Amino acid sequence: MAAVNALERHVALVGFMGAGKTTTAASLGGILSWPVVDVDGEIERRYATTIPQIFEQQGEEAFRRVEAFVIGEAVERRHRTILDLGGGAVTFRDTHDPLAAGAFTIFLEVDADTAWHRVAGSNRPLAQDEEAFRRLFAERQPLYREVADAVVASGDVDGALLAAAGVHHELGALDRLGELVPGAGPVALVADSTVMGIHGPRAQEALGDRLASTHELPPGEEAKHIRVVERLWSELTLDRGGTVVALGGGALTDVAGFAAATYLRGIPWVSVPTTLVGQVDAGIGGKTAVDIPQGKNLAGAFHWPVRVVLDEALLATLPEREQRQGLAELLKTQLLAGSALDVRGAAAYKSAICLRDPHDRGVRNWLNLGHTFAHGLEAAAGFDLPHGEAVALGLLAALRLSGRDDAPVREALDPQPVRVDRERAWQALLRDKKRDGDTINLVLLGDDGPYLAPRPAAEVRAALDTLIAD
């Protein structure tokens, strides 16, 4: 079975000459902060010679053996890397097993005309004759597909990031859900009552014979109670080979993912977010949780979905208020990235952050920009305050504490102070991000991007108070 993501694997790039592997590897390495291993460069450095010289003096077979050895060594390294493989590496079968064992392999697809245009006139030994080049191009395509866990267009860095995170983005993808759920085992479809009525029939038809059961949960935050999880646990009949498919917004994917993380000590699940919040944020990265009276998401688990299916066509049925909830998360991501992003770009940004820090011990904290305040407000409102509206208010406070202009949030979202109990909101905020003496750690924005910094509790309390109506 192909690898489903690069969560605990290296990322290997394969493809024909001119596919842009070196450029893409450099981009991925910079975004993920993973070292890049240029296999050809490593061979030349190690053996103090050039690839053309090895071909000329020892022949291609000798070179392929050296190449396979270097790839095998790289895959065995503990720390994740980006492996930039030569165009012919896959022709030697000894490279296939190491890639399957330790890498998530992405085939960078390019057409023959583009590839030839990029390499013609170079000193590459196999790019000296166009007819032979095109013949070799055709011969190698099946080998690239054989080793690949994903196929991405040449130059599509966002596509490579999404693939590495197990995210599939496609209009109309819901109709292909049966083939997009990895494996061949039975499936339990979990959706809230609203989404089940709108999209459930299509999802059930797409899952076909794999569908073992359907489960309706309450809509919104009402689903994120342990009693709802207990009911779902009791209804599930899957064995360890089954998969939970979570169809709905961020609250639904949170609770269904948590149920999957804990049922039979963990079974696979697929996230199919149907809201803008879910598609740019909540449905990606494997954070699952339920709420308790003391705060939001205080009981949960990290359980990465084996696939995230992003079908933007599902957003067409969202009410305007729901669209605005997602815009808050999209704006948050744009502030973090420092650039305008569409749904696909925002999903790729979050995928990259989560791949770098799957368990929220470092840079993934950046995604909490504004959320410390938002979670406090939500808890104080008894979780009746929509998440996006709370995030919009939290972004105001975070920007102000960062010394940044809050106009982008005010102009795009126009958040208004909410009527909640101030003390209850403050106590919930302290539970969400633990207090360290007289300071509280917050995600802020600087000239070089997001950072985590301690701020005096009194200053944070004052910022929170500005978000609460008198």
For the chain, the domain total comes to: 3
Quickly count: other Cβ atoms within 10 Å of residue 453's Cβ: 14
Instruction: Report d(CA 199, CA 172) in Å as an integer.
Output: 12
Residues 141 and 173 in one domain: no
Neighbouring C-alpha atoms within 13 Å toward the C-beta of 384: 6
Domain membership flag for residue 5: no
End residue of a domain, out of 156, 179, 208:
156
Domain membership flag for residue 470: no
Residues 144 and 200 in one domain: no
Residues 235 and 299 in one domain: yes
Question: Containing domain of residue 399, as a range?
Answer: 358-465
Give the single-character DSSP code of 279: I
C-alpha 378: how far from its chain's center? 25
* Sequence-distant (≥ 6) Cβ neighbours of residue 227 within 8 angstroms: none
End residue of a domain, out of 265, 296, 318:
318
End residue of a domain, out of 93, 123, 156:
156
Where are the strands (E) in 185-294, listed by range? Answer: 187-192, 211-217, 243-248, 269-273, 287-292
| Alpha helices per DSSP H over 338-421 | 343-356, 371-380, 387-401, 407-413
Residues 16 and 107 in one domain: yes
Q: What are phi and psi of 25, to 5 degrees?
A: -60, -45
Domain membership flag for residue 279: yes
User: 256 — alpha (psi -120 to 50), left (phi > 0) or beta?
Assistant: alpha
Domain membership flag for residue 329: no
Confidence of residue 78 (pLDDT cuts 50, 70, 90): confident
Residues 199 and 312 in one domain: yes
Residue 270: give its domain's CATH number: 3.40.50.1970
Of 57-66, 127-136, 283-292, which range is least confident?
Answer: 57-66
Confidence of residue 436 (pLDDT cuts 50, 70, 90): low
Residues 179 and 128 in one domain: no
pTM, two decimal places: 0.94
Confidence of residue 1 (pLDDT cuts 50, 70, 90): low
Residue with tokens 């899957």: 238
Residues 103 and 223 in one domain: no
Domain membership flag for residue 2: no
Three-state DSSP state, 283: coil
Domain membership flag for residue 233: yes
Strands 10-14 and 287-292: unpaired
Residues 126 and 25 in one domain: yes
Residues 127 and 256 in one domain: no
Residues 137 and 23 in one domain: yes
- Give the N- to C-terminal CA distance of the chain in Å, as an integer: 58
Residue 21: give its domain's CATH number: 3.40.50.300
Domain membership flag for residue 351: no
382-399 residue pLDDT tens = 988 998 999 999 999 999
- Is there a contact between 195 and 248 (Cβ–Cβ < 8 Å)? yes
Q: How many residues does the chain have?
A: 470
Residues 295 and 402 in one domain: no
182-220 residue pLDDT tens = 999 999 999 999 999 999 999 999 999 999 999 999 998
Q: In the prediction, which pLDDT does 56 show? A: 81
Residue 365: give its domain's CATH number: 1.20.1090.10
304-326 residue pLDDT tens = 999 999 999 999 999 888 898 89
- Is there a contact between 65 and 92 (Cβ–Cβ < 8 Å)? yes
Domain membership flag for residue 162: no
Q: What is the mean pLDDT of residues 410-420?
A: 96
Which residue from 437, 414, 181 is spatially nearest to 305, judged by alpha carbons?
181
Which residue from 247, 254, 246 is spatially nearest to 224, judged by alpha carbons?
254
Residues 142 and 184 in one domain: no
Burial 174-212 (b: 16+ CB within 10 A, else e): beebbebbbbebbbbbbbbebbbeebbeebbebbeebbb
Q: What are phi and psi of 381, to 5 degrees?
A: -90, 10
Confidence of residue 52 (pLDDT cuts 50, 70, 90): confident
Strand partners, 427: none
264-303 residue pLDDT tens = 999 999 999 999 999 999 999 999 999 988 878 889 999 9
Instruction: Report d(CA 96, CA 101) in Å as an integer.
Output: 9
Sign of the alpha-carbon torsion through 379, 381, 385, 391: negative
Confidence of residue 53 (pLDDT cuts 50, 70, 90): confident
233-242 residue pLDDT tens = 999 999 999 9
| Alpha helices per DSSP H over 33-182 | 39-47, 51-58, 60-75, 96-102, 112-119, 130-147, 157-164, 177-180
Which residue from 249, 271, 221, 382 is spatially nearest to 326, judged by alpha carbons?
249
